[in-house]
Amino acid sequence: MLKIFLQLYLIVTSLTNIYLGLTITEKEKYSPTIYPSTANHIEEDKKNTGQLIIATFQSLGTLQSDKRLETFVGNSRSGYREGQGLSAKFNLITSFHQVNSSHIIVVDKRNHCLRLVNRTTNSTSSFAGRCGSDGFNDGEGTEARFNEPHAIVSAYRKDQYYLTDSKNSAVRLLNISADYQSVRVETILRDNHKLINLRSLAVNPKNNHLLLSTGSHLLEVNGPKNYSTISSKEGYWNIEDLYILPSVDILLVADHDGIHQFNLLNSQKAVIWDASLQGSCSDKSPNSMCLSASRDQLYIGYQDCVEVLTLEDAIPSTVSYPVTSKTSPSVMKTTSSVNVEAKTAKPEAIVTDRRFGSDFLSFGDWTSYTVLILAAAVVLLIVVLLAMMVRRKSTTVDDKKFNNMKHAEPIKYTQSCSKM
């Protein structure tokens, strides 16, 4: 009986945690002018509101109001050179992160290092690793070694960032000084088997779990040796980018076919954008994603093109997550939770999360009725099954008693004599 009710609880819980997902209502070729390169990474510009920063193979540029890409550092030729503006050289930029409006950490993959770009002067400097020299080593700044680093994301802790180190099959932790002049590199995960072909990375701020892509697999990591495959290769084809929407427990996955959504609560998958059938960028495969500040548009980076998709509903911007303290590589600690809200989100565009919350009994939409009906049907089915089982058991017992009486031998009574 207890097992049945536990199963019922799990069924109802999974039903009440379903987010209806993203719906695309409009598409537009946002910028066709990044030819002949690829939008490897996209972020909204923290320095110039309303503009996008695009990372191509060897440069960073901003998309202007006329949709023209204006390069501010790097050029069209690969190599390595520290310099200012177009004189600097990179060798395959796969990711970057704006630590503030004046500093950008750039992942220079084939130079095996991280570079720092000063937006005030558009000048570059070596930040971590020795550019042009691969290897594996923890340490301060240029003492560290990487082998084709790929993606960098915030660790949701002050001045800390995660970095995927592809050829080393490792995840590295960057501890950056407040003035951005020094960095210490530590290895928190390394596995030559499970982390082979490691590329993209996302962090779930609700539980501090790492979400990693290795080829066509998704991995969830909640500790140094605690890996779990949350989606196998059957679901994706060559994952290029991950983008988490923690307020709705959705992980967006960009692969060769398009954009998928993965529900982190119930592991349900769905295609929300088939690039080959619906895209406006000439049958290209997506390379990168970025959610707009208004949270109602999704920018998709392709080869030679950037596309913008308009969402039916804006993504809620408030999410509670545990603050994680600075720790050694072998431990992940969490403290009390806080709320984070997008500073530039438009209040009128934000809608309530469509999972059931405090307004469950208000029956504001059909999903409330659906879940109640399904739950009632499950309860009724269990009650009927239990009643049938009890009745069948009772009938079986009565039949056994009748058969025993029918075939029993007559009882012989004997009189015993006792001496008086």
Among 349, 367, 398, where does a domain finish?
349
**Which pLDDT score is estimated for 324?**
40
Residue 241, pLDDT above cutoff 70: yes
What is the C-alpha separation between 339 and 362, in angstroms, rounded? Answer: 25
CB-CB neighbours of 370 under 10 Å: 12
Q: Is residue 416 part of a domain?
A: no
Q: By the 8 A CB rule, do 42 and 288 touch?
A: yes
Give, in order, the Cα–Cα distances in Å from 180 to each of 22, 57, 97, 117, 184: 37, 25, 13, 11, 11
Is residue 420 included in any domain, yes or no?
no
With a pLDDT cut of 70, the percent of the chain lying above it is: 70
Query: Inter-axis angle of helices 2-16 and 366-407, to 10 degrees?
Result: 160
Tokens 């790097």 belong to 74
Choosing from 349, 371, 387, the residue where a domain stops is 349
Q: Which two tokens stand for residue 193?
A: 């088997």
pLDDT score at 362? 37
- Together in a domain, 72 and 139: yes
Same domain, 51 and 13: no
Kindly report, residue by residue over 82-118, the tens digit of the pLDDT: 999 999 999 999 999 999 999 999 999 999 999 999 9
Give the residue from 304, 330, 349 where a domain finishes: 349
Are 260 and 275 a contacting pair, CB within 8 Å?
no
The answer to whether residues 280 and 389 belong to one domain is no
More confident position, 158 or 5: 158
Please check whether residues 332 and 382 belong to one and the same domain. no
Query: Do 52 and 143 fall within a single domain?
Result: yes
Residues 202 and 309 in one domain: yes
User: Does some domain include residue 413?
Assistant: no
- Whether 325 and 368 map to the same domain: the answer is no
Q: Which residue has better confidence, 101 or 15?
A: 101
**Are residues 147 and 244 both part of a single domain?**
yes
User: 283 and 151, same structural domain?
Assistant: yes
Q: How confident is the model at residue 254 (pLDDT cuts 50, 70, 90)?
A: very high
**158 in a structural domain:** yes
Check: pTM over 0.85? Answer yes or no. Answer: no
| Per-residue confidence band for 40, with pLDDT thresholds at 50, 70 and 90 | very high
Instruction: Give per-residue pLDDT as tens, 306-345.
Output: 888 898 888 887 544 444 433 333 434 333 333 433 333 3
Evaluate whether residue 139 is within a structural domain: yes
Q: How many domains, the chain?
A: 2
CATH number, domain of 231, equals 2.130.10.10
Q: How crowded is the C-beta side of 119, counted as CA atoms within 13 Å? A: 18
Residue 80, pLDDT above cutoff 90: yes
Report the C-alpha gap between 145 and 161 in whole angstroms. 16
Inside any domain, residue 417: no
Asked whether residue 273 carries a pLDDT value surpassing 60, the answer given is: yes
The identity of residue 275, as a single letter, is A
How many distinct helices (H) and strands (E) make up the chain?
3, 27
Asked if the structure places residue 415 within a domain, the reply is no
Same domain, 283 and 311: yes
Q: Report the DSSP pairing between strands 170-176 and 183-190.
A: antiparallel
Question: 129 is in which domain, residue-wise?
Answer: 22-349
Is the residue at 345 inside a domain?
Answer: yes
Residue 288's pLDDT band, with cuts at 50, 70 and 90, is very high
Same domain, 330 and 360: no
Do 259 and 378 fall into the same domain? no
Burial bucket for residue 273 (CB in 10 Å: 0-12, 13-18, 19+)? buried
217 close to 232: Cβ distance less than 8 angstroms: yes
